[in-house]
Each structure stands twice: as structure tokens, then as C-alpha cells.
Structure 1
Amino acid sequence: MKTNHMNQVFVHLILILLAAACLFPFLLLIISSLTQEQSIVRDGYSLFPKEWSFEAYTYLWNQSSSLVRAYGITVMITVVGTFAGLLISSLLAYPLSRGDMPYRGLFSFLVFFTLLFNGGLVPTYLVFTEVFEMKNTLMALIIPGLLTNGFFILLIRSFFSTSIPVPIIESAYMDGATEFKIFYRIVLPLSLPILATIGLMLTIGYWNDWFNGLIYVTEPELFSIQNLLNRMLSNIQFLQQTNIGGNNSTAAASLPTNSVRMAMAVVGILPILCVYPFFQKYFVKGLTIGAVKG
């Protein structure tokens, strides 16, 4: 008994240290965003700064109208993209999970093929801008590279194949249920863990995406939060590196570059940290069931 108790204490200590190692970067990030710029330049980043300041958040507050609009756009594309991505991925994964589907192996290979090869950046850009005319539209922030993913489709397919009992589907057939009704009323409710897992991945992908906005969007009214924060940081660096002269030069030199960078990271990551606990209980279960048994 004593040995088991010591083992539990040791395991708990290891887990506490790992949790502290994970929390340390976030704590340093928040404290650095509240540290005076000159203190960071002089003393570096520290958990116990000598001088505190809200100038980074004051700078962001002065851009509040743009931030609110960018937040709204990001929330909208995240919600729409996550819902559409889950719908498309599950609708494709369900027939691939059925053993009686004709050419099932061929379609599975085509999905897997997309994980190995793509058309390249330039052809992809030309297709979405010249053929589909998505430049400077919200669709450019939703569809390219984010809406569907072969890995997600194969993960959901594995979950459907291993975790949805075939007798339940057969009984529904005998009761006269259509294929769509089986999918909507039986398969999806039993697949909540994997759907929550993929939904979280899609949510993080859409929220953190800046690349689509960088190459497809030039109108400031359509900037997502990540693109706006990136542009703001670029503007600060440009002002500091450009010789403007006079009072403007002094003001530009005093801009809180390092602390603003940390404050931007806090503003960008905070919503995801708030959402993650609601998905956590499904995340590990859905990922392990869909991957290990596949």
C-alpha cells in the first residue's frame, strides 16, 4: 500500500510539473503584455517586471472599432466554416464507412490522395481568384484550404466504421427509414465525440487563419482578427524603422512594440481558451476512438 501511495504521489508531481510547464508560457505572455516597453527592452521578459503598464492595451483600445469589426468577421467565418466543414466531411465520410458502397476503395484513395499532393500556391490562387472570383470576399476566408480536409474525413470514416453498430442501421432499414434519416437521427447523435473533436480542430483552424486573408483579401473591411493584428504590428514596425523626423519620430520610437505583440497574442487566443473546456471531454475520446481503431 505504501508503495502504491508513493507511486501516486510521484505521478501527481510529474503531472503538476507538466501542467505548470504548459501554463508558464501563457502566464508570461499575459504579464509581458502588461509590462512597460522600456522595461522589456532593458530587462527582458520576466514574471516579475519592475514596471507595469497598460499602454499596449490602450493602443489596442484606440483601434477598438476595427477590432470589433474584425472580431465579428472572424466569429462569423469560424461558425459558418466549422458548421459547413463538419457537414461536408460527415456527409462524405458516412458512405465511405459503409462496406456496401460501390467503388468505396477508389473514393477513399482519392480522399487520401489530397493529403499527399496539392496544386501548389500559384495555381490555387489563380483558380480561386480568376475562376471562382473569390478575391476580397468572405468566401475567400472560408473555402480555400480550410473547409474540407482529407485527414478529418478519414478520421470520421474510421469512427463511423468502428463505433456505429451495423445492426442498428439494419434495424432502421427494416423499419423503413431512409438513408438520410438514418444519418441524421442515428449516426450523428452517436458520433458526438468525433464531431466535437473535428469541430474543435476546424474552429482553431478558422480562428487562427491569417494566410487566406493575406493573399486573398486587401479590403480592410474584410480583415479577420489575425490579419488585422498582423497589419497593426507591421504598421508599428514600419513607423519605427522609417525616419519621419520631428515629434512623429519620437512618438513612433515610443510605440510599445514588444508589449503590443504580446497583447495582440492575448486578444487573439483568449476566445479559443474560453471555448476549449467545453470540447475537452469529447476531444480525447473522439480522437482515440477514431484513430486507434481505424
Structure 2
Amino acid sequence: MFVSKRTFSTYRALFHENPLGLPRHKPAPTIPRAHRGLPKKMPIAGVKNVVVVASGKGGVGKSTTAVNIALAAAGLKRRVGILDADIFGPSVPKLMNLKGEPELTEKGDRLIPLTNYGVKCMSMGFLVDQDAPVVWRGLMVMKALQQLLHQVDWGQLDLLVIDMPPGTGDVQLTISQQIVVDGAVIISTPQDIALIDAVKGVNMFKKVNVPILGMVQNMSLFICPNCQHESHIFGHDGAARMAEEFNVPLLGQVPLHADICTLSDSGKPIVISQPDSPFSNYYRSITQNMLNRLQEIK
């Protein structure tokens, strides 16, 4: 039966058994019990490289950075997708100016990502109403995440960027244990309070044997949009010192500027809307350094 036009809303009644409402023609891999050992990592079909963008702490510009990295990579002629792994607070739909429910493949067993600016996108934000809270316990969240990881038809991608939620909990462990992750990019501001959690993120990825591609120092300084005066309102070079301490590359630094914030909120990331601006160049440089590092470790 042809079912490509059936969308998520068709399956809402199946939520308690199947969070995303996908038919179970090919069951998503489950996490074995502890006494059976860790689950076998599975590559995502059609995806050459998976990079997670993490912070350990919210409010440091992680999602904005992840989206601009994905767009910069697409500008470098890579086939790119971005997966929003934040089940409770998805940001990718707004940042990428996307709305609507994803359709299903003809077989009805996979979600088709939405696309904008040449980047394929998948997010829980496409599957629930914008103002509706996701009030789920951990097991439901893990089921939904497994389906986002294993039941999305990405086609052929050179790079899948996963925008991780803050913290070092179930979502981070599930992703690092269930799929092959080629590297992690850690985002932090120079502020000590952000660096405390960034350290936890670095150590978590080391424990689960995910290579650290490098760090990005976001909001490295504030540039006044009127007089262009520079001020280090979050401290000076904290993330750079941390990168040196952990012997990981500093992929680059991005200042805090009104244009980056305003354009992100309007769904027109600066790499797309102002490609010739110095801030777009920062993101492109970070992306190229990340891709170079990825090639080195592989």
C-alpha cells in the first residue's frame, strides 16, 4: 500500500508503544541489559561521517554553532544533514526556518527529513506542536531517540551533524553507544561556569571512546554593533586554555554579535544570510578545521 503521504499525526494513537508512530517493519535496535554488555554500534545507513556538537551546558550557543557548521559544510560542497537530538527543547526547526510534519517513505518505515538551505533536517520539533511540551519519562525519550537515529531516511550524506542536548546523561550515552560517532565538537564560552560543564563533556566522550575533534570558543568577546568596541564580558580565552590543557585543537572562536543572534532567531543563519561577513568566515574556518581534523583521525 502506498503510504508516503501519511504523516506523524496519523499515528498519534500509537505513542505509548511507538513514540514516533512508525510502523515496526524493522524494529529499531534496543539497548541490551547491562549483563549482556554494551549494544553493538551501528552506522547510520548512507551517512559517511557523524559529528556530534555538544556543550555540557545550555545557553552557550551550541545549536547556533551546529547549524552554521552544517551550512558551512554544505557550502563546501558536502552533502549534509543535521539531527536535533534535544527531545525536550528542539531548536533546529526555528534556526533552519522549517515547519511541518515529515512524510514517510513509500514503504512506510522511515521518516523523510525536511530540507532548507540545502541541508536535510530532522527534529522532534517537527513531530509535536510548537507550544506543546514533551512530557515523557526516560523510557519514552529513549524509544523516540532510537527511532530518530535509526528510522530516518537520510539518503546519501557526507556529514551528519547531531545537535546534542545539554548535559551528559541518557541521550548522550545512547547516541555514543548505539551509533558510530566519528568525532565530537565541544562548544563553550570563556566563562568559568561554562567551562566546568565543558570539561565534563570532554571527559564523557573520552570514556565512551568518541574522538574529540576540537573546541569552539563561542562568545569570545562582545562587539558593540554601534561603535565596534570589543569587550571580553565572559572572560578571556578560557576555552582556549582548556583546549590546550586537554591537548585538543581549538577549532576557532566566534564573537558575540547582534547580527548572529538576530538572524538565528529569524531562521536565517548568518552563514546563509550574510555569507561575506567576517562572522560567516569564522564559522567557515571552524568547519574547515573540523573537516581537516576528521580526515586526520580517520
TM over 0.5, shorter chain: no
Q: Which has the higher strand share?
A: 2
Larger radius of gyration: 1
Q: TM-score of the superposition, structure 2-length normalised?
A: 0.23
Q: TM-score of the superposition, structure 1-length normalised?
A: 0.23
